[in-house]
Structure 1
Amino acid sequence: MMLNVTDLAVARGGIPVLEGLTFSVAPGTALVLRGPNGSGKTTLLRTVAGLQPAFAGTVDGAGERIAYAAHSDGLKSMLTVTENLTFWAQVFGGTDIAQALSDFQLEPLADRLAGNLSAGQKRRLGLARLVVTGRPLWVLDEPTVSLDTASVALFASVVRRHLGAGGSALMATHIDLGIPEAEVLDVAPYKASPRASVLDEAFL
């Protein structure tokens, strides 16, 4: 199933930040969002993921198909790497974490508490959660933060395999991951026109 976004406007604090966005992400492809800090990329991803309502327009083909990874790694610090992945696998109805451990070279850290991992190791564990979800559409906000060059390459390899299996990805990243299937969308031209916020309009 394809992700279809039509004439979408997204808002932060009741004030539109992007508007007029129309794009699609087909199975087997990735779309990379670009734009300066504060341009609305995170707000757009959160809206597509269903974490906040659209200001206008529609998002079709998302819902329960999405696995969302934001800036937070979503880890329980007092659980081990294995226990964290097992927890997330069970949340999504699975049990097998071997592929996720292997993909992000976490086997040597399997019994270590998440709270004792380095920033890069935590990020790899957070991204490994994507593998155990079984969800076909990955929505990722700056997924390579805290990753070294080797870890970025691991992540890119996992994304390419996901696309090759018919999955899709919508990502905000400033790094060229070397994924030929990925198209790029610059959100800067879609900056919303200045207007009163919804809250302000109540007093006009």
Structure 2
Amino acid sequence: MLEARELSCLRGERVVFAGRSFALPAGAALLLTGANGAGKSTMLRILSGLLRPAEGAVLWRGGDIAADPSAHAMRLRYLSHQDALKPALTVAENLELFAALWGGEVEPALEAVALAPLADLPARVLSSGQKRRLALARLALAPAALWLLDEPSTGLDAASVARLGPLLAAHRAAGGIVVAATHLPLPLPDVQELRL
């Protein structure tokens, strides 16, 4: 379903990575690993269509994602380093914004990341780990075929990382694909790795 063909990336005049290829069928997962500055976040941006590769192409079911960026944007969820929360809104209201765009139920999404008891608190009072869990709750709102996750476990305690396991497994069982940039192990069995 998702294929990267000979992707290359330049930052200024410097080659960050070159000639990177992979293909992921439905239900697959790929970990992007490597040192800081190796291009993990950049690869996610290229796969999302936010950045163009210097060379190569990203294909979805055989078609270049650059041909229809809007369609590609609708089929993915991209979780970056920024949690993209509205601090003045409550936990539930933050998710309601995304539910209005994508559909889905807020309560089950909050329960998936153990935030239901905090639903009425303003996001600004959450700890960094709770804010990350709220960002991750967006994944549980409504189905999307492709999840691009940039350091999804940042700020999470061990119990919260363990809670990610069922969320990721359910997505993959439904035919979804996960690509995650990480320095730490994630609860993703049967995963491919691409070291940058």
TM over 0.5: yes
| Alpha-carbon displacement from aligned partner over 1:32-66 (angstroms, at most 9, x marks no partner) | 01101111111111111111111110001162321
Greater Cα offset, 5-14 or 108-117? 5-14
- Look up the SS of the partner of 1:124 in the other structure: helix
The equivalent residue for 1:199 is none
Q: CA RMSD in A?
A: 1.3
Q: What residue number does 2:59 align with? A: 60
Other-structure match for 2:119: 110
Q: TM-score, normalised by structure 2?
A: 0.90
Match status 1:6 vs 2:16: no
Task: Specify whether residues 19 and 115 from structure 1 end up closer, same or farther in structure 2 by C-alpha distance, changes over 3 A only.
Answer: same
Letter in 2 for 1:10: C
What do the CA deviations read for 1:127-182 (whole angstroms, capped 9, x no partner)?
11112242110001101000000000011221111111111100011222232231
What's the CA shift for 1:99? Answer: 2.0
> Aligned with 2:141: secondary structure?
helix
Contact 1:123 1:145 in 2 (8 A): yes
Question: How many residue pairs end up in the alignment?
Answer: 185
* In 1, Cα distance between equivalents of 2:47 and 2:107: 30
Q: Report the AA paired with residue 22 of structure 2.
A: F
Identity of aligned residues (%): 43
CA displacement, residues 80-115 of structure 1 (integer Å, 9 cap, x when unaligned): 0110001011122x1412221110011100000001
Gaps of 5+ in 1: 188-204
* Equivalent in 171, 183, 189 of residue 162 of structure 1: 171
Give the Å deviation of 1:15: 3.7
What residue in structure 1 maps to residue 183 of structure 2? 174
Task: Tell me if the contact between 1:25 and 1:170 (Cα under 8 Å) persists in the aligned partners.
Answer: no
Corresponding residue of 2:81: 71
Q: Which has the larger radius of gyration?
A: 1
Query: What secondary structure does 1:180 align onto?
Result: coil
**Residues 1:142 and 2:145 are matched in the alignment:** no
Q: For structure 2, list consecutive stretches of 5 or more residues without a partner in the other structure.
A: 66-71
**Cα distance change on mapping 1:14 and 1:133 into 2, 3 Å:** farther
Which residue of 2 is the match for residue 191 of structure 1? none
